[in-house]
Homo-oligomer: A and B are copies of this chain.
């Protein structure tokens, strides 16, 4: 599969895919004789994984470390697990933070609504009353 096909498939740009490979976010992609990237299904799975993890904000560096270990074989499984565990905790912590902020936003929005909605209804009532008067 060509780079632009993969880019299309995952909603990334070819530039980003090349960057991910250079940065070690995905293992080296196989090449044609001419030297052009020829993504396999496995390459695609890595791309999808990288996209997902990056989307959640895992740092490029941590993912690159994970991939580097992966490429070094089975013996690195414990180290890889340690990275996953650490990033999982960091992610959960960030989410907890965000949840608290979300709650706070909801609270604030509810307060704005409490103040603004009555005003709007009042306004709507006035308009309706005027319309009725105009009807006669």
Contacts and interface: CB of A to CB of B under 8 A. Distances in A.
Given A81-B116, A109-B81, A95 B97 contact: no
A82 to B, nearest CB: 10
Interface in A83-105: 84-85, 87-88, 91-92, 94-95, 97-102, 104-105
A131 interface: no
Interface string A40-75: 000000000000110111100000000000000000
A118 interface: no
Contact of A115 (B77, B102, B105): B77
A101 B101 CA distance: 20
Nearest to A87: B105
